């Protein structure tokens, strides 16, 4: 079953065509990798799915909803969460509060119950802290709940971003270069984490350059170059696709 | 409180802070008697000073929600104060409403105007927002000076406003207003403290830290900014009711741009987002000049200079806001430590803990 489909999605910045008529689909429960050289338009595709950037043309459907042009918070509420290529935590706030930001959209307390600290509001606060701690335990950061997010090691900040995104209870999780800046061991742990996220019935889309990470983790790969989707298929098929080898994977051989 | 945010801004922190705050509040409650026993003649004067400080504390606390918590640069707060005061004056003098009955309407009127004017500008960046909010206070002042709808009395203002009364007891003397105003300050502190440490307050905090990230995590940033603006404005309207009934006479001069600047100064000087800071700021800006009579008319100059010095050496304000404290419930608390203990990192489980940012 398709959970996400892109239909002829296009985005230009000034004269530059960043994404040129990309059409593709993502099956529920899959781990889909989006690969391609720098500047290919991968992040722009993610930004259009999450509502940060408005497509010039085309349609995006998620779980039966047309989400093109919706504001990001609406798309999060529908079940798409993301992390950023350059880490974008709330660095001055605690690790716990960062995860609570993800919980926000699944909470109900409004202005009046907050202003008057009504019993329902207090109960919800208690539950949401447990919920946030569960996500921190899931990514292995629970012991650091009161640290300031900005003081965490780089790899921990990446995992905190994932915990924060998971706290929104997504059906589709979008990771933009999650292994960026991670060492060998952290990257391996990340691969295991991606596996256990999928076991929670969360569909995953990720951008990553490290082929050692991408190949075993992903079921499907999408390859972009210069804003165009040049290939899609299983990692096996992509590895043997001459167009891809030439455009992207072949770079190593030339060097 | 069993779980959730603790008494974040309780005082100096810990049990001693709480005790100290308690003693302070108790001493404050006896202040009128103390002042009268010191000097019968000058006590009313000093109570009036304290009442002014209290009123500005309420106003500055309401501005703090907008400026401190949501981080929106709003320098037109006197506009909403004015709308509240005039709503009360009009309903009381022309329609015979009792003062306390006008209070919710004053708050509502200020909140409604805030919603309408903020709607198109709420997304503006700090510096642009600042300029537009200055425009708002000027528009309101000009409107009431020109006797809008023939209701506001023009530049002469409005007089003959009644005193508030509760169950047949009418507040007349400064000591009556002292309790009325400072109890309202207490209520404001409590409600806004709760608001700060809730889903709502956290949303504002995320917006202040990084609006784009907040939106991407599911916070409806425009809605929350707008709500913060409306709440702050409505509370300023409520303060307007107190002001009108205390003065009995109001005129456009009380609601000028410099009034807005004064409120802005209180919040920045005391510490954006910190209720203790705002309280201190009100005493410094509104109370201190009374001790130096000659210095009164140079007030703006002196506080302008103080702000410049502050921005260089202590930009977070005199009593900056402290991080919210959370308590983990039951078993989680046993596993990972209960109450947040200062800035010290917790004992690390595996050895790979917080390190320098790569
Ligand atoms: N906000 C923007 N304004 C202008 N140009 C942009 C913007 N975002 C991306 N681009 C351009 O679009 C192209 C694709 O960028 P991006 O999607 O970030 O590539 P990738 O993630 O594949 O490295 C690049 O040439 C980039 O410079
Ligand atoms: Mg990118």
Burial A45-57, CB ≥16 within 10 A → b, else e: bbbbbbbbbebee
Per-residue pLDDT of chain A (255 residues; tens, 9 = 90+): 899 999 999 999 999 999 999 999 999 999 999 999 999 999 999 999 999 999 999 999 999 999 999 999 999 999 999 999 999 999 999 999 999 999 999 999 999 999 999 999 999 999 999 999 999 999 999 999 999 999 999 999 999 999 999 999 999 999 999 999 899 999 999 999 999 999 999 999 999 999 999 999 999 999 999 999 999 999 999 988 888 887 765 555 443
Residue A130: predicted pLDDT:
96
Q: Can you list the domains of chain B with their CATH numbers?
A: 47-321 (1.10.3470)
**Does A120 contact chain B (CB < 8 Å)?**
no
Chain-centroid distance of CA B330 in Å reads 36
d(CA B59, CA B135) in angstroms, rounded, equals: 19
In angstroms, the CA B126 to CA B128 distance is: 6
As a whole number of angstroms, the distance between CA B139 and CA B116 comes to 14
Q: Which CATH architecture has domain A1-79+170-255?
A: 3-Layer(aba) Sandwich (3.40)
Nearest-atom index, ligand 1, CA of A176: 21
Set of chain B residues whose Cβ sits within 8 Å of the Cβ of A105: 217-219
Identify the CA nearest to A167 among candidates A220, A105, A226: A105
Q: Structure tokens of A200? A: 């929670």
Least confident interval from B112-126, B153-167, B216-230, B333-347: B333-347
Instruction: Report yes or no: A200 at the B interface, CB cutoff 8 Å.
Output: no
Own/partner long-range contacts of B182-190 (Cβ < 8 Å, ≥24 apart): B182/B28, B182/B50, B182/B54, B184/B54, B184/B58, B184/B242, B185/B54, B185/B57, B185/B58, B185/B61, B186/B25, B188/B57, B188/B58, B188/B61, B188/B62, B188/B235, B189/B61, B189/B275, B189/B279
Q: Is the CB of A22 under 6 A from ligand 1?
A: no
Q: A10, A41, A42, A229: which to mutate for ligand 1, most atoms within 8 A of CB?
A: A41
**Distance from B336 to chain A by nearest Cα, in Å?**
6
* pLDDT given for residue A91 in this prediction: 97
> What count of other Cβ atoms lies within 10 Å of the Cβ of residue A30?
17
DSSP state of A45: H
Is the torsion defined by CA of A103, A104, A105, A106 positive or negative? positive
Q: How far is B116 from chain A (nearest CA, A)?
A: 19
pLDDT value of position B331 = 86
A133, A151, A181 member nearest B354 (Cβ): A151
Q: What is the pLDDT of residue B339?
A: 55
Overall average pLDDT of the B122-145 stretch: 90
How many whole angstroms separate alpha carbon B82 and alpha carbon B254?
Answer: 8
- For chain B, what is the mean pLDDT? 87
What number is the average pLDDT over the span B212-218? Answer: 97
Ligand 2 centre to CA of A136 (Å) is 26
A150 touches chain B (CB under 8 A): yes
| Crossing angle between the packed helical segments B31-38 and B43-64, to the nearest 10 degrees | 150
Q: How confident is the model at residue B7 (pLDDT cuts 50, 70, 90)?
A: very low
Which residue is associated with the tokens 């608390």? Answer: B333
Q: Which ligand is nearest to the CA of A34?
A: 1
Structural tokens at position A53: 């950037």
Please tell me the distance from the alpha carbon of residue A81 to that of residue A51, in angstroms, as a whole number.
11
A 40-99 → B contacts, CB under 8 A: 50, 52, 71-73, 76-77, 81-82, 84, 88-94, 96-97
Cα torsion B101, B102, B104, B105: sign: positive
What sign has the CA pseudo-torsion A104, A109, A115, A117? negative
Across the interface, whether the CB atoms of B336 and A145 are under 8 A apart is answered yes
Contact B219 A105 (CB under 8 A): yes
Nearest chain B residue (CA) to A75: B218
Of A126, A143, A146, the CB nearest to B349: A143
Residue A228 DSSP SS3: strand
Residue B24 token pair = 């302070």
Distance CA A125, CA B202 (A): 11
| pLDDT, position B27 | 84
Cβ-based neighbour number of residue A231 at 10 Å:
21
State yes or no: pLDDT of B281 exceeds 90: yes
Q: How confident is the model at residue B296 (pLDDT cuts 50, 70, 90)?
A: low
Mean pLDDT in residue range B174-194: 95
Residue A36 Cα to ligand 2 middle (Å): 9
Q: By the 8 A CB rule, do B270 and B89 touch?
A: no
Considering only CB atoms, B4 lies closest to which of A52, A107, A122, namely A122
Those residues with Cβ within 8 angstroms of residue B50's Cβ, 6 or more apart along the chain or in another chain: B31, B178, B182, B287
Question: By the 8 A CB rule, do A120 and A113 touch?
Answer: yes
Cβ of B346 within 8 Å of Cβ of A143? The answer is yes
Ligand nearest to the CA of A223: 1
pLDDT score at B136: 93
Every domain range in chain A assigned CATH 3.40.50.300:
1-79+170-255
**How far A235 CA lies from chain B's nearest CA (Å)?**
30
Taking only the tens place, the pLDDT of each residue in A44-68 is 999 999 999 999 999 999 999 999 9
Alpha helices in chain B (DSSP H): 14-29, 31-38, 43-64, 78-93, 99-118, 126-145, 174-196, 199-209, 211-216, 221-247, 257-270, 275-282, 299-313, 330-336
Does residue B358 surpass a pLDDT of 50?
no
What's the pLDDT score for residue B302? Answer: 80
Residues by chain with Cβ below 5 Å of ion ligand 2 = A 43, 85
- Per the CB < 8 A criterion, the answer to whether B326 and A96 are in contact is yes
Ligand 1 pocket member A18 (CB < 6 A):
yes
Give exposure, B283-316, as e/b (b: 16+ Cβ within 10 Å): bbbbbebbeeeeeeeebeeebeeeeeebeeeeee
Measured in Å, residue A39 CA sits from the centre of ligand 2 at 7
Is residue A241 within 6 Å of ligand 1 at its C-beta?
no
Residue ID of nearest Cα to ligand 1 atom 1: A13
| Cβ-count burial B49-88 (b if 16+ within 10 Å, e if not) | bbbbbbbbbbbbbbbbbbbbbbbbbbbbbbbbbbbbbbbb
* pLDDT at residue B295, rounded to an integer: 67
At residue B303, the pLDDT reads 78
> Contact A114/B217, CB-based, under 8 Å?
no
Averaged pLDDT, B268-287: 94
Nearest CA in chain A to B347: A143
Residue B28 clears pLDDT 90, i.e. is over it: no
Least trusted range by pLDDT, from A103-112, B2-11, B73-82, B86-95: B2-11
Query: Is B214 in contact with A101 (Cβ distance < 8 A)?
Result: yes
Phi and psi torsions of B4, nearest 5°: 80, -175
């Amino acid at each position: 079953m398709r959970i996400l489909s892109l239909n002829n999605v296009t985005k230009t910045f000034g004269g530059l065509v960043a994404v040129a008529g990309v059409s593709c689909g993502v099956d529920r429960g899959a781990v889909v990798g989006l690969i391609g050289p720098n500047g290919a338009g991968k992040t722009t595709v993610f930004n259009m799915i999450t509502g940060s950037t408005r497509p010039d043309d085309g349609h995006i459907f998620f779980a039966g909803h047309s989400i093109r042009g919706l504001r990001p918070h609406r798309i999060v509420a529908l079940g798409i969460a993301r992390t950023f290529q350059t880490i974008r935590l709330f660095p001055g706030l605690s690790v716990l509060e960062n995860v609570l930001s993800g919980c926000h959209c699944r909470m109900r307390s409004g202005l009046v119950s907050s202003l008057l600290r009504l019993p329902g509001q207090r109960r919800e606060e208690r539950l949401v802290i447990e919920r946030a701690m569960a996500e921190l335990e899931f990514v292995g950061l629970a012991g650091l709940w009161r640290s300031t997010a900005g003081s965490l090691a780089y790899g921990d900040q990446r995992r905190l971003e994932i915990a924060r995104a998971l706290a929104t209870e997504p059906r589709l999780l979008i990771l933009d270069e999650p292994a960026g800046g991670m060492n060998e061991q952290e990257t391996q742990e990340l691969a295991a984490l991606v596996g256990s996220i999928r076991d929670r019935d969360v569909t995953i889309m990720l951008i990553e350059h490290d082929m050692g990470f991408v190949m075993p983790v992903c079921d499907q790969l999408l390859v972009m170059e210069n804003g165009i989707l040049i290939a899609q298929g299983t990692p096996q098929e992509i590895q043997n696709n001459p167009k891809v080898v030439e455009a992207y994977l072949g770079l190593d051989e030339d060097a | 409180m069993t779980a959730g945010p603790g008494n974040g801004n309780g005082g100096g922190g810990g049990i001693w802070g709480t005790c100290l705050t308690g003693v302070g509040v108790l001493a404050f409650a006896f202040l009128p008697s103390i002042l009268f026993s010191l000097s019968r003649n000058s006590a009313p004067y000093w109570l009036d000073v304290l009442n002014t400080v209290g009123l500005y504390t309420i106003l500055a606390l309401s501005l703090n929600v907008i400026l401190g918590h949501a981080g929106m640069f709003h320098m037109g707060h006197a506009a909403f104060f004015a709308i509240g005061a005039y709503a009360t004056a009009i309903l009381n003098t022309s329609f015979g409403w009792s003062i306390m009955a006008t209070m919710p309407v004053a708050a509502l009127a200020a909140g409604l105007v805030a919603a309408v004017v903020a709607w198109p500008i709420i997304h503006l960046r700090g510096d642009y927002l600042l300029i537009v909010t200055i425009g708002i206070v000027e528009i309101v002042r000009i409107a009431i000076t020109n006797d809008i709808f023939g209701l506001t009395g023009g530049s002469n203002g409005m007089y003959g406003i009644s005193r508030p009364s509760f169950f047949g007891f009418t507040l007349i003397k400064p000591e009556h207003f002292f309790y009325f105003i400072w109890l309202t300050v207490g209520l404001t502190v409590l409600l806004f403290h709760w608001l700060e440490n809730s889903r709502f307050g956290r949303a504002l905090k995320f917006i202040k830290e990084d609006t784009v990230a907040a939106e991407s995590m599911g916070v409806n940033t425009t809605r929350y900014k707008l709500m913060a603006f409306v709440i702050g404005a409505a509370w300023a309207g409520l303060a307007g009711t107190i002001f009108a009934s205390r003065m009995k006479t109001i005129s456009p001069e009380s609601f000028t741009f410099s009034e807005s600047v004064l409120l802005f100064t209180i919040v920045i000087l005391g510490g954006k987002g910190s209720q203790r800071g705002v309280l201190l700021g009100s005493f410094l800006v509104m109370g201190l000049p009374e001790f130096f009579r000659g210095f009164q008319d140079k007030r703006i100059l002196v506080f302008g200079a103080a702000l410049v010095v502050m921005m260089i050496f202590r930009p977070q304000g005199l009593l900056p806001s402290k991080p919210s404290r959370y308590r983990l419930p039951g078993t989680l608390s046993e596993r990972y430590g209960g109450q947040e203990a200062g800035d010290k990192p917790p004992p690390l489980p595996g050895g790979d803990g917080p390190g320098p940012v790569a």
